[in-house]
Structure 1
Amino acid sequence: MAQPLHYALSTRTFFYSHYFHLGLRFGAGLIGIILATLAVSDMTTALSVGIGALCTALMDMPSPLRHKFNEMLASVLLCSLVTLGVSLCAPYFWLLMAALVLLSFFASMMVVYGKKSMPLQLATLFIMTMSMEHHLTPLQALSHAGLFTLGGIAYLAYAMAISWLLRHRIKQQVLAEALFELAAYIDIKADFYDPRFGITEQFNKLVRHQALLADRQQASRDLILRAHQNRKDAIVVQIHVTMLDLYEQILATHTDYAQLRLHLAESPALKALHDLAYKCARDIEAVGYAVTRKKASFQAISYAPELAALDAEVAVLQRRVDAGEPVAEALAVLRAQRNKVRAIVGMVGELHVASQKAYDSTPFWLDQDMQPFLSQQKYEIAVMLSHFRFDSPIFRYSLRVAMAVVCGVAIGTSLPSLFPSYSAHSYWIILTIVIILRPSFSMTKQRRSDRITGTVIGCVVAAVILLFFNHPAVILTVLVLATIATPTFVVLRYRYTAIAVSIMILLQMNLAMGGSVGMITERLVDTFIGAAVATLFSFVLASWEYQSLPKLMDQVLAANLRYMQASFELLQGKERNDFPYRVQRKGLMDALATLSAALMRMLDEPASKRRAVEDINLFIVQNYLLVAHVAALRAILRRHVADIPADQVNAMLATSHDHVCGALSAALAQPGLPASCTTVVEGVLDPAATHSSGAGGPASWPGFAVVQRRIRLLQADAEQIIVHRAAIEKNVVRRETAA
């Protein structure tokens, strides 16, 4: 399945993205610190200072200022201790081996703190690898560590100063990325109206992209909602809040696409709906583009032709219904979809307005505690110690890395004696191992491919430069470009980063120590050796994704239960403030994103390690649909608020709440016995069964039919969750037990 082009890889938006700005900040800081050191000292001192700045720069990511300072300071202190310890141990082989094993293990254990600790792990392993080649006296080791620390502190001060000056700009860039991902999400929704695309395929793409969208929205929350103190901050807060409201409205557009396609296959209505969604996506991109350029956005797209076409088609269907044709269901679905799309168009307009107006304050849930919406990062030793057990995937990963490093050192030490013409470089082999070997098999597989491809291309480019363009000005220019590209593409396309790193290191080695094309060939061979070792150890003590599936599904079901409780309290008017509802919706979306990511990783694993792929996918989709149904119910009740028969509607919602929560509870408590739900929800599938539909009753309220239909869909999808959970339980847990 082809992946859409990331917004930051487009030439239109690349130079405005925070990825490119990070590369500029990284390059300017690193090169500036090295040049400043060269002005007062020699090349050896400058390289020691520069490597300290480089390790600290690996932690330079978009983050709240206080978090950034703590993370980068931790990197300076930890890496300084590592370089000192390894330098002192380097002259003594067995002592060095013990240090490498312990450092590899504990650095890998840091992964327990989440993805924000990954750069710190890489920085620790990187400086460990770079330091193992230095055979220094204790005094020289202290001096080297001091220079390393000086470089780290210098970059820390530089990065904090730049981040403080550009703190609002970084918020704009991260917010813009979330807007672009929301636009990509709508593009996927648009293809539901195109009969050329399978509905199941589109749901798969939608749920996959949901994980990415949730991650980008969380990054936006973490930066924007922690501190918003001035008029400029108020603008990004208002855009962010409007974006989240728009997202919920988009969720509410879920409908019976099969029914639409069946009855309207030859109608212009489907094309109009598709074009409206496509235009909305481009409109949201326009807001995101304006935000990246620090400008207000003004709506330039007209939706009038498509809306007029929809109105005309609704009128045609109404006449067919009046003539007795059986298209009443299609008419109801199309009319509801038209109303939802109109609401979305209106909210996109509000998104433009939010970017234009300078607010005096930040009207975002005043006096509310934002902590439930923010990432909570706790670096407590007890968290790491709790994973010191053999069934912990992180513990097994740490053992795997330590063993692979020992193997890499052994190979690097023994090869020169076996092949005298070959000069192995143990540090390069180990560096390749620690870069490639990731916590999951799928991540290791992808990193191996990117590392090998990037290194080959980088070596070829470096060889061409040294053979045909070996001039200091050319080499320095390429070095600057490679230094900027290294952090720019580390998230976007790691393969590009691998190319840039290979060019940068090889050219630096040529400048510092001289060398030849033979040096490049040796590094290429070392890379293949390291990749082979990493591949071999990716199967050692491996933790396969299917082993975590039951726990992840339980987390989804528990989050969905909490979400349903908050949702129905809001729908029934028991809770007027939608803050708790938003908190629980975020929790459910995060749980679904985690499960979806695990499924995607499992698809990259060997076929023998895949379990219940189709049922897991359907389980994710069904839980996602429950969110869409609730969002639709909120939209319906808002649209038909006039003359609402509150008692009857609330009774219907209460019955549905019992049914849905009963189904989710049954799936959570007894996943292997789908029949257990029958006693919980039996006899309540028809929400209208216990309510009057006579004159003056609920049926006379315009929203009754659509609410009733949506509740029926909600209950049916909740029951499907039990079926898929039972199938997964059978294919994962029982199959593993039998094995």
Structure 2
Amino acid sequence: MNQHSRQLRYFFSGQNFTDGVRITVSILLPAVLLGQWGHFAEGLTISTGAVCVSVTDTPGPAAHRRNGMLAALAVVALTAVLTSVAALNIWTLALEIGALAFALTMLLVWGARAGAVGTAGLLNVVLLLAHPPTLAAAPLHAGLLLLGGLWYAGLALVAYQVRPYRPAQQALGESIHALARFLELKARFYEPRTDLDDDYRQLVAQQVVVNEKQEAARDFLFRTRQIVNETTSTGRRLVLTFVETVDLYERITVGYYDYSAVREEFARTGVLADVARLIRHVATELDHLGVAIQANHAYHGTGPELTAEWERLQARISTLEAGAELGTNTRVLKKILVNLRDIIRRVGNIRRYFDEALTAAAPAASRAAEHHRFVAHQEIELRTFAQNLTMSSAVFRHAVRMTMACLVAFIVAETLWHGQHNYWILMTVTIMLKPGFSLTRQRNTERIVGTLAGGALGGAVLWAVPWPDARFAILVVFMIVAYSFQRTKCLVTVVFLTAYLLIMFRFLGLGFLGVAQERIVDTLVGCGIAFGAGYLLFPSWESEQLTDYMAAALRANLAYLRQLADRLAGRPLPPHEYRLLRKNVYVSGANLAAAFQRMLTEPKSKQHHPEETHEFVVLNHILSSNIAALTGTLREAAPAVPPFPPESRRALTSAVAALGKSLGRIAPAPEPLPELGPAELNVPVLTDDKSLLEQLTFLQKVSTDIGKVTEVLAR
């Protein structure tokens, strides 16, 4: 199975495609069935309720999805009644739009799912503007919307009850797919022709994706009681496999070396090409495992082939060492070889997911309390809402920005542009305006390009396909594609959404050219308002937030470095405590990298020291990778205790001090950093290990380099 085949299998077996099909069915069936019985308007209202509630049905535990959809049902019903009352007067309608835009946007203070509930309410208000129901019809209209929402929620929850493990398998498969891509990018570092700076940029960008997918899988697995308390093999296999993938991620990240020196020394031998080839083969095997888990299909793998290829590489390196090709030793190649052997072994452990006999024999003791420590908890407290009613709150500033933009869009639609679907202007604003300017600009660009391309695609279909049945089939396909990519590729969603809307309006008897013109003009006007609001009204620049992400990354690495010092001093952490520290390092590093990427999409004048920031991101990644590498070496050496001579202790103390000073520059007035504790008296001092001293000295150097960068960034 080649890469394109795997990509297709990932798509068709993934959560996004499943959701796309469900949303399409929930929208089409009420409108089509009731339309056949002469009640198309009522069917369309039911479909609208399904659309609004589907906004909140984001991946996650079933209980969270259920609660989100129930909240959306209440908000949709309430906004339907309020809009019916407010529509009696243009001024009260404007007041309602402003008030709801602010209140519903402020729901973001309780997290992304609560924010999605607010988006569902705003979407319902905007759609009601097309034909606001009268007061007499308001109860019936709200009831039909509720019926549509219940129809979608019931469909989603029944699907989960029928196949309770599918979402977990899909989340796990997607995380493995992202990890396979991360490993594939690591192979580029062994290709002398690639640019190392570009390699690091791609690797750090993929680190963001890996963290996002692992957080999604962790959130689903560790919040679902049916899985963490599972007494059968299926749930345990999911949890054990996920833990193994996180350990594998650590093993992949620890493989850091001075790649410039490695290339210069070994490029002429050709051995680096063999290393890169083996890494790619392992990545391909991992990708096969991911798609098999996601699709819930058996896979036997090519483990023996990878082992044989590793043995050939080992023989090649031994030949180099024994021959006269090199004037230096091959110690770094041996380290790479050992790391690859461990990666292959861990990929083999993931392959055991398909061996029910092995996982069924695993201990069944519940570790739910321990697992819950690895996921963030968001409490719904009213005081949180009140505490964010200040200009220092990013959510409050975004709510004010959204309120003003929606009011401008409403005024423009009512006074300057009297199209039949002028509510599209307001809809564009509510969808395109995001808390950060970088995402607002990106979405606006995708919206404009996608609308133009979608208009052309829809027009081509209407021109080339005159048969109604064929057009309807194409409409269904376009709907599935549009809703399948709505969380991942906004451009694809806009293209196919625009195309299927044009086909749908053609079925309703409206002229294609008129609808297309309205769609394009409304999109341009709405995007202009959203862009202007994001740039002019209390803009949120990533450069202003970067110091917070940098400080979080430094704190996480400081704690990570201290656990290394404790381990060297004879005070190792329990495994779950170490995994918590490791998780914090990965999450903070990925958040920092994502913020840096967003900053690069902002105007040049708003970017603060982009080159130094990139250097900080890379150094932070190198530091955490080397701490993990040394920690892994010490764990594998247990129960033997490694030496901790005075030279090593000085290097470690200096590294901790350098990171502490860097944190002080980035985040003024930090909490006082505790001194490193003394080594335990019962720790034996073995023969001096130059490798340990070299690794600790390298940590000291990287920490010092981070300090130099923070001096520039703090100016």
TM score, norm. by length of structure 1: 0.88
- Tell me the distance in 2 between the aligned counterparts of 1:285 and 1:559: 30
The Cα of 1:66 is off from its aligned counterpart by 0.7
Please point out which of 273, 276, 288 is paired with 1:274. 276
Please point out which of 645, 656, 668 is paired with 2:663. 668
The equivalent residue for 2:535 is 539
- Tell me the distance in 2 between the aligned counterparts of 1:395 and 1:661: 38
The equivalent residue for 2:714 is 729
Any idea what the Cα deviations from partners look like across 1:306-328, whole Å, max 9, x if unmatched?
5323433244335559xxx7514
Give the aligned residue type for 2:478. Answer: A
Structure 2 residue 525 is matched with structure 1 residue 529: yes
Any idea what the Cα deviations from partners look like across 1:558-607, whole Å, max 9, x if unmatched?
22222223344345542352111111111121112112111111111111
- Tell me the distance in 2 between the aligned counterparts of 1:278 and 1:23: 32
Please point out which of 684, 698, 702 is paired with 1:717. 702
Q: Is residue 568–residue 657 contact of structure 1 (8 Å, CA) maintained in 2?
A: yes
Unaligned runs of 5+ in 1: 417-421, 682-686, 688-695, 731-739
Unaligned runs of 5+ in 2: none
SS in 1 for 2:136: helix
- Tell me the distance in 2 between the aligned counterparts of 1:276 and 1:715: 32
- Tell me the distance in 2 between the aligned counterparts of 1:391 and 1:614: 28
SS in 2 for 1:242: helix
Q: Is residue 623–residue 702 contact of structure 2 (8 Å, CA) maintained in 1?
A: yes
Please point out which of 7, 15, 31 is paired with 1:18. 15
The equivalent residue for 1:184 is 181
- Tell me the distance in 1 between the aligned counterparts of 2:376 and 2:4: 24
SS in 2 for 1:239: helix
The equivalent residue for 2:331 is 332
SS in 2 for 1:369: helix
The Cα of 1:36 is off from its aligned counterpart by 5.0
The equivalent residue for 1:447 is 443
The Cα of 1:215 is off from its aligned counterpart by 0.8
The Cα of 1:529 is off from its aligned counterpart by 1.4
Structure 2 residue 126 is matched with structure 1 residue 140: no
- Tell me the distance in 1 between the aligned counterparts of 2:448 and 2:159: 34
Structure 2 residue 638 is matched with structure 1 residue 634: no
The Cα of 1:135 is off from its aligned counterpart by 3.8
Change (3 A) 1:309 1:462: closer
The equivalent residue for 2:393 is 392
- Tell me the distance in 2 between the aligned counterparts of 1:13 and 1:34: 31
Q: Is residue 296–residue 352 contact of structure 1 (8 Å, CA) maintained in 2?
A: no
Q: Is residue 237–residue 362 contact of structure 1 (8 Å, CA) maintained in 2?
A: no
- Tell me the distance in 1 between the aligned counterparts of 2:157 and 2:464: 40
The equivalent residue for 1:308 is 312
The Cα of 1:270 is off from its aligned counterpart by 0.9
The equivalent residue for 2:243 is 241
The equivalent residue for 1:590 is 587
Change (3 A) 1:361 1:87: farther
Which is further off, 534-543 or 377-386?
377-386
Change (3 A) 1:362 1:487: farther
- Tell me the distance in 2 between the aligned counterparts of 1:453 and 1:374: 38
Superposition pairs for residues 333-482 of structure 1, below 5 Å? 333-358=332-357, 359-360=359-360, 363=363, 367=367, 368-416=369-417, 423=419, 425-467=421-463, 469-482=465-478
Q: Is residue 564–residue 661 contact of structure 1 (8 Å, CA) maintained in 2?
A: yes
Give the aligned residue type for 2:644. Answer: V
Change (3 A) 1:465 1:629: closer
Any idea what the Cα deviations from partners look like across 1:490-514, whole Å, max 9, x if unmatched?
1232112112222333333343464
Which is further off, 167-176 or 660-669?
660-669
SS in 1 for 2:442: helix
Give the aligned residue type for 2:233. Answer: R
Which is further off, 282-291 or 253-262?
253-262
Aligned residues: 698
Q: Is residue 652–residue 696 contact of structure 2 (8 Å, CA) maintained in 1?
A: no
Any idea what the Cα deviations from partners look like across 1:234-271, whole Å, max 9, x if unmatched?
22222112111111111221122222112112013211
Give the aligned residue type for 2:71. Answer: A
Any idea what the Cα deviations from partners look like across 1:103-132, whole Å, max 9, x if unmatched?
112222223334334533332221111112
Please point out which of 492, 503, 522 is paired with 2:488. 492
Please point out which of 502, 505, 508 is paired with 2:504. 508
- Tell me the distance in 1 between the aligned counterparts of 2:567 and 2:474: 59
- Tell me the distance in 2 between the aligned counterparts of 1:157 and 1:612: 51
Q: Is residue 612–residue 728 contact of structure 1 (8 Å, CA) maintained in 2?
A: yes
Q: Is residue 101–residue 399 contact of structure 2 (8 Å, CA) maintained in 1?
A: yes
The Cα of 1:697 is off from its aligned counterpart by 7.0
The equivalent residue for 2:609 is 612
Any idea what the Cα deviations from partners look like across 1:523-560, whole Å, max 9, x if unmatched?
22111111222222221221111111222222222222
Any idea what the Cα deviations from partners look like across 1:326-384, whole Å, max 9, x if unmatched?
514xx221121111111111211122123323423765995452122123233333323
Q: Is residue 648–residue 693 contact of structure 2 (8 Å, CA) maintained in 1?
A: no
- Tell me the distance in 2 between the aligned counterparts of 1:415 and 1:352: 62
- Tell me the distance in 1 between the aligned counterparts of 2:474 and 2:334: 59
Give the aligned residue type for 1:264. Answer: F
Which is further off, 139-148 or 288-297?
288-297
Structure 2 residue 295 is matched with structure 1 residue 293: yes
The Cα of 1:661 is off from its aligned counterpart by 2.4
The Cα of 1:478 is off from its aligned counterpart by 2.7
The equivalent residue for 2:147 is 150
Give the aligned residue type for 1:202. Answer: D
Please point out which of 640, 644, 649 is paired with 1:649. 644
TM score, norm. by length of structure 2: 0.91
The equivalent residue for 1:419 is none
Q: Is residue 49–residue 151 contact of structure 1 (8 Å, CA) maintained in 2?
A: yes
- Tell me the distance in 2 between the aligned counterparts of 1:360 and 1:306: 31
Structure 2 residue 61 is matched with structure 1 residue 64: yes
Change (3 A) 1:654 1:64: farther
The equivalent residue for 1:734 is none
- Tell me the distance in 1 between the aligned counterparts of 2:520 and 2:377: 41
SS in 2 for 1:542: coil
SS in 2 for 1:370: helix
Change (3 A) 1:586 1:6: farther
- Tell me the distance in 2 between the aligned counterparts of 1:356 and 1:475: 46
Q: CA RMSD in A?
A: 3.0
Which is further off, 341-350 or 34-43?
34-43
Q: Percent same amino acid at aligned positions?
A: 26
Which is further off, 127-136 or 36-45?
36-45
Q: Is residue 23–residue 483 contact of structure 2 (8 Å, CA) maintained in 1?
A: yes
Give the aligned residue type for 1:452. Answer: I
- Tell me the distance in 2 between the aligned counterparts of 1:241 and 1:650: 34
Any idea what the Cα deviations from partners look like across 1:281-325, whole Å, max 9, x if unmatched?
01101111211231333231523245323433244335559xxx7
Q: Is residue 664–residue 721 contact of structure 1 (8 Å, CA) maintained in 2?
A: yes
- Tell me the distance in 1 between the aligned counterparts of 2:48 and 2:568: 57
